[in-house]
Amino acid sequence: MHDARVLIDMGDEAVRRLARRRYTLDLSSLESLQSRRNQSIRTADELRAESKRVAQEVQKTAKASGDVSALKESARKIKEQIREAEAEQEQIQIELRELLLSIPNLPLDSAPDGDSEEFAVEVRRVGTAPTFAFEPRDHVALGETMGILDFGRGTKLSGPRFSIARSVGAALERALATLFLDLHTRRHGYVEHSVPFLVTRKTMTGTGQLPKFEEDLFATGVADRELFLIPTAEVPLTNLYADEIIPPAELPLALTAHTPCFRSEAGSYGRDTRGILRQHQFSKVEMVRICAAEESQAEQEKMVAHAEACLKELDLAYRVVTLAAGDMGFSAQLTYDIEVWLPSQNTYREISSVSDCGTFQARRAGIRTRDEHGKTVPVATLNGSGLPIGRTLAALLEQHQQQDGSVTLPKALVPYLGFRRIQADGTPSEA
């Protein structure tokens, strides 16, 4: 959440930067709310001071055996005015908080202009997109023919945008998750966590999913508690440190978790409806880093490299792009997308987003550290996919497919699977 004073002090600069996200900041409304809030605080403070003065006058007059009835009536009226002033202050504070919670993060100037993926700027390409002497099939056709993916039964159980992996397909999903966790914990220094998949409204608000994106979430409840299914492990991992002060010596923190993710995909129907690219439930290995604010951009570069390492281990061709300011997530100030090559679509598709959120989420969640003077200051938070299991599986099947319908898997997966090849009939083979 933004600091209202900072936005007001920035003035036209804040308006300009938010306009790059297609957000119109009503600076006059913000200034009015902040002014009313400050005035309500002053009024309540003045009334409390007056109440204290009258109370002392009552005691003084009573000791002198004077008539205190008028003073007591004055004290009663002042107390009523204090209640009214405090109620007004609370209402203004609610309005101000609601406004601030609705304002997205300020994009960095290094994010290109634009509001869609068409305006993303390519940073680099890694690997060579495979060419085939035959018409490559998509992961749906490959998975169903081999019998390792079952979309019909997934739909039967839960409706559209659910699928089932079976036999070698399920083993491959498990192997991918374990490989990614091993890379991040053993090579990249992340600490693995097992976290709840249900979280509170406050937790969702801390990372920016609420209140703006409630329609994208699945809500449920336990007894009298309102809970939400997590859309990504970013939510519980980041909020592990909500309302805490992290000692500077402990920074940066590097956290990872493998969890299911649940998304309603509101407004996205018609996009990627075939296969496992956009589902209501999928699993993902997530990376989160928490650091000093001035270190966030350097930490982001590290995270991009960590996500790339997963793709390199799997011999997958991909590219890295910088997202346009108007196409980034609500909480991000700069985002790199990593896009993997999908032969069936003859294009690169997003497989990981690595976002630097600056202090935006930390302010909302109350995550702080201390500066060199001992003063508490917000940390920076970053998150990235490292990687989603379904999209990675789709890319593996498509990029490594063979003319006979089999799929040759990369060597990095052999220790986790015990085989190197999925034959056309879905059975594993060492060759």
Average pLDDT over residues 7-24: 97
Four-residue CA torsion sign, 31, 32, 37, 43: positive
Per the annotation, the verdict on 353 as an active-site residue is yes
Task: Kindly report, residue by residue over 304-345, the tens digit of the pLDDT.
Answer: 999 999 999 999 999 999 999 999 999 999 999 999 999 999
Task: Kindly report, residue by residue over 199-252, the tens digit of the pLDDT.
Answer: 999 999 999 999 999 999 999 977 889 999 999 999 999 999 999 999 999 999
Per the annotation, the verdict on 391 as an active-site residue is yes
pLDDT of residue 392: 98
pLDDT of residue 272: 66
Annotated binding-site residue numbers = 232-234, 263-265, 286, 350-353, 383, 385
Distance from C-alpha of 1 to C-alpha of 361, rounded to nearest angstrom: 7
pLDDT of residue 223: 80
pLDDT of residue 270: 55
Annotated catalytic residue within 74, 350, 420, 421: 350
pLDDT of residue 222: 79
Which residues are within 8 A (CB) of 1 and not within 5 positions of it... i.e. 6 or more apart?
Answer: 97, 100, 101, 360, 363, 364
Residue 266 burial class via C-beta count within 10 angstroms: exposed 0-12, middle 13-18, buried 19 and up: exposed
Per the annotation, the verdict on 110 as an active-site residue is no
Stated pTM of the model: 0.93
CATH assignment, 4-102 = 1.10.287.40
Q: Considering the domain 117-429, what is its CATH architecture?
A: 2-Layer Sandwich (3.30)
Work out the end-to-end distance of the chain between its first and last CA atoms, rounded to an integer number of angstroms: 55
Domain boundaries, the chain: 4-102, 117-429
Per the annotation, the verdict on 174 as an active-site residue is no
Annotated catalytic residue within 20, 263, 289, 368: 263
Percentage, residues of the chain above pLDDT 70:
98
Annotated binding-site residue numbers for L-serine = 232-234, 263, 286, 383, 385
Range with lowest mean pLDDT among 55-69, 227-241, 267-281: 267-281
Neighbours of 229 (CB within 10 A): 19
Q: Answer whether residue 52 shows pLDDT above 90.
A: yes
Annotated catalytic residue within 125, 201, 278, 420: 278
pLDDT of residue 221: 79
Percentage, residues of the chain above pLDDT 90:
93
Neighbours of 376 (CB within 10 A): 10
pLDDT of residue 21: 96
Average pLDDT over residues 93-112: 96
Quote the mean pLDDT of the chain.
95
Average pLDDT over residues 133-157: 96
pLDDT confidence tier of residue 276, bands split at 50, 70 and 90: confident
pLDDT of residue 271: 57
The answer to whether 285 and 390 are in contact (CB under 8 A) is: no
Q: Answer whether residue 367 shows pLDDT above 90.
A: yes
Annotated catalytic residue within 344, 391, 398, 406: 391
Annotated catalytic residue within 40, 51, 331, 353: 353
Per the annotation, the verdict on 42 as an active-site residue is no
Annotated binding-site residue numbers for ATP = 263-265, 350-353
pLDDT of residue 142: 97
Average pLDDT over residues 421-429: 96
